[in-house]
Amino acid sequence: MAQILVIHTGGTIGMAMGPDGLAPSPGLVERALADLGADATVLAFDPLLDSADIGPAAWNRMIAAVADWRGAGVLITHGTDTMAFTGAALSAALCGVALPVVLCGSMQPLGVGGDAEANLALALQAVETAAPGVWLAFAGKLMPGAGLVKHDSHAADAFRVVPQVADVGPFGPRYFADLRLAVLTLSPGIPAAMLAASLAELDGAVLRVFGAGTMMGDPAILAALQGAIARGCRLRAVSQCEAGGLEAGAYAAGAAIWQAGVENGGVETPEMALVRLWLSLRP
């Protein structure tokens, strides 16, 4: 194998059982890589993170490390809970990257007879053979990092992919600014005051709307959206359905969304919509 970079962020794959449950165990992934014969430079986060704590700061560390790497491909070990967010973040921020960047995680830790060893071996193979871009090696499959959906919280085959419109352009790493963004979900009976209060704290938001692009006819809800946009808060809509996306003009119940100035995320997953909105904003 050519020398690769391994960025070990943490996650279940590198955990061991402790008094309070699974927790990161330094050195576990490094020993597994040695057992598999990997010629790797390992950059381990300190402290190692549960993926629940992965966000823009961690994405920026990964992006910088990939951009600075002059060897073969890059393997990133990562927890599964926010894998879809990181897959979207790296796919957009590293658009045009000239080497494979392979995410890898597991539903059970190394050394317990679960899926970790097979996923790690698949990721090592993909780092050597996959096309340039961002990938997830998981459950015997190599999946594009953009459009990942974690659809099962326990099964080994936990991920599937919703195809996304690809980012294009020459490679130039992009980084995530210190902004206030969130994914918000419309639900029947949602209080307009709560929505308005949430939007008042944000620079932008992804709004998960109904079906092909509809929302309730409550004038106070519409006023909350219009007020946020008027003060410069960017809003991007995606469907609460996993696939199919939005179609402006399909239903009269959706007309107010577009008239208010909400952007159409089309087939974007909430994770991809959040990432693209974040990268398009400047502090």
Non-local CB neighbours of 85 within 8 Å, separated by 6+ positions: 54, 271, 274, 275
What residues does 135 pair with on adjacent strands? 102, 144
Are 148 and 84 in contact by the 8 Å Cβ rule? The answer is yes
Backbone dihedral region of 261: left (phi > 0), alpha (psi from -120 to 50 degrees) or beta? left
Which tokens go with 255? 């007309």
Of residues 43, 127, 58, the one with CA closest to residue 89 = 58
Return contacts of 108-114, CB within 8 angstroms, 24+ apart.
108/12, 108/156, 109/12, 109/13, 109/14, 109/15, 109/16, 109/17, 109/22, 109/25, 109/28, 110/13, 110/14, 110/28, 110/29, 110/32, 111/16, 111/28, 114/156
Q: Which of 12, 82, 86, 269 is catalytic?
A: 12
Question: Encoding tokens for residue 102?
Answer: 């392979």
What 3-state class would DSSP assign to 276? Answer: helix
* Catalytic residue list contains 12: yes
- Residue matched to tokens 């992006």: 63
One-letter identity of residue 196: A
Is there a contact between 211 and 239 (Cβ–Cβ < 8 Å)?
A: yes
Catalytic site residues? 12
